[in-house]
Chain A
Amino acid sequence: MAGAGGGGNDVQWCFSQVKGAIDDDVAEADIISTVEFNHSGELLATGDKGGRVVIFQQELESKNQPQCRGEYNVYSTFQSHEPEFDYLKSLEIEEKINKIRWLPQKNAAQFLLSTNDKTIKLWKISERDKRPEGYNLKEEDGRYRDPTTVTTLRVPVFHPMDLMVEASPRRVFANAHTYHINSISVNSDCETYLSADDLRINLWNLEITDHSFNIVDIKPANMEELTEVITAAEFHPNQCNTFVYSSSKGTIRLCDMRVSALCDQHSKLFEEPEDPSNRSFFSEIISSISDVKFSHSGRYMMTRDYLTVKIWDLNMESRPVETYQVHEYLRSKLCSLYENDCIFDKFECCWNGNDSVVMTGSYNNFFRMFDRGYRQDVTLEASRESSKPRSVLKPRKVCTGGKRKKDEISVDSLDFNKKILHTAWHPQDNIIAVATTNNLYIFQDKL
């Protein structure tokens, strides 16, 4: 991990780039709501509260500096979703992009799914670098020629042009969710995907927009009996019949679609037993899982609740195999965090390419990494102050009591408006994308 001093496998994280405006006046539309690398790591997509998607592309390594990884520059940007008004319920449907998921690449074009609270869209991003010239019936500017003036015939020829990247919506999957969509996940079969809202999960075929199959429904007959909601869902990375979903009560259910059409009965239930004497008003709220992610290997899954990150072995339902404290010092601040609503913040988490390190965000623009093998953790900060090119990030430390050392920050000085909810790790390399409220930071390991 990033460290003072050496050590065989210490990774030193360096600032690489930052995207977004510097000013402190943040318009709501600019709040980043999702970050996702594609399967090769060449493309990095962000979604924001204004319904816009920005895609960055990694430049090819320059021949001058073969050891330096390419920078990410804007490749395409488009308006994915617009605000809508639900006339039946008299409620606004936000255009905020909740999730982006890339499809594995099959041809020259790239495809991604983006979703807001109600509608999922499949976008095709394609490149155009040549255009036809020399039509018989049209001038170069598009005006039609008078056919009587045409005396000879010619064959139009393709000529190179400046690269144009076009994004077009290929499918719109609408009207399938009564509640708010929190997750989408593409199946390893590359033909289907799931979308999950608070109470239901639907299975779609990527080609078919006018119907979807409901595979999980936890809505009680009497809404007064509602005790938990679905918070996240994901398909297994290589078993196309398996998916998991997490709940607001801290449980994860694994379902096998071969068992029955409606997967209300789970195949496995992952739940850590709780000590009843420790139970408090906050217990259930802080146990609510905000994100669930399978490891690349498919053997493990990671969950994020308010204070911890837990790694579960799919073969053991009784308890997680590893638990990492993200910001345990907040346990004695739960009252104020409840009053300012921060206790409901939904942090995401991610794995590195070989599943040896996991990462998640915290407050004060801090983010945390946990090395599973070396049992080390580090806190780093995404800030403009540490944004000099290739400068190594200094580990940060929160002082939890007693005398505050120099360079430490006390819990009461943390800025709870500066939250890092979304982070992403390149699928192969040590390149990470960290989203603060309205800026995207890219860090790389020191080569």
Chain B
Amino acid sequence: MCVLLSTQEMDDTVLSPEKAEEVKLKARFPHLGAKPGGSDLLRKRLQKGQKFFDSGDYNMAKAKVKNKQQLPAVTPAEKAEITGDHIPTPQDIPQRKPSIVASKLAG
């Protein structure tokens, strides 16, 4: 399947849709590495998850998320959990494990 790009000069080269998409991407991100499947992408995949400063930082972030539970959080966009803006003290960290909410599938 071939697509003629309307934004390109008609110099007799017909690009596959995939190559056309690549041209679009390179236009938006000119510094994208030549080898996409290589180390960068894979390394990002191996270390998925947000790094926290320490467990106190982690518990503070969790407590903050619990307070804002009702926000829809389905989009794949990154969740901006802010950490480190408050030095945790024993009083701030939730004292007991929050009660477990039953799954809505079982409702």
For this complex, into which size category does the number of interface residues on chain A fall? 35 or more
When distances are taken between beta carbons in the complex, the residues of chain B under 8 Å from A54 are 103, 105-106
| 16 A/B residue pairs, CB under 8 Å, sorted by A | A50-B101, A52-B102, A74-B105, A77-B103, A90-B58, A92-B50, A199-B46, A223-B39, A226-B38, A280-B18, A282-B21, A332-B3, A332-B17, A335-B25, A339-B28, A417-B76
| A134 on the B face (CB < 8 A) | no
User: A281 and B26: CB pair below 8 A?
Assistant: yes
- What's the least CB distance linking A37 to chain B, in Å? 15
Q: What per-residue 1/0 map shows which CB atoms of A23-39 lie under 8 Å from chain B?
A: 01111111110000000
CB–CB B104/A30 < 8 A: yes
Residues A180 and B48 in contact in the complex (CB < 8 Å), given A54-B106, A228-B42, A248-B37: yes
Contact B103 A50 (CB under 8 A): yes
Most A-side CB within 10 Å, residue of B3, B20, B28, B46: B46
- A25 and B72 contacting across the interface, CB-CB below 8 Å: yes
Question: Residue of B at shortest CB range from A418?
Answer: B74
In the assembled complex, A338 has its CB within 8 A of some CB on chain B: yes
- B69 near A: Cβ within 8 Å? yes
Are B105's CB and A79's CB within 8 A?
Answer: no
Q: How far is the CB of B53 from chain A (nearest CB, A)?
A: 7
CB–CB B103/A417 < 8 A:
no
- Measured between C-beta atoms, what is the minimum distance from B84 to chain A in Å? 12
Residues of A within 8 A of B17 (CB): 331-332, 334
Residue of B whose beta carbon sits closest to that of A277: B16
CA–CA, A288 and B54, complex, Å: 34
Bound-state Cα–Cα, A52 to B17, Å = 42
**Closest-CB distance, B47 to chain A (whole angstroms):** 8
Residues from chain A with a CB closer than 8 A to the CB of B103 are 30, 48, 50, 52, 54, 77
Given contacts A54-B105, A92-B58, A281-B32, contact A179 B46 (CB under 8 A): yes
Asked if B36 lies at the interface with its beta carbon under 8 angstroms from chain A, I say: yes
B42 touches A91 (CB 8 A): no
A20 within 8 A of B: yes
CB distance from A389 to the nearest CB of B (A): 19
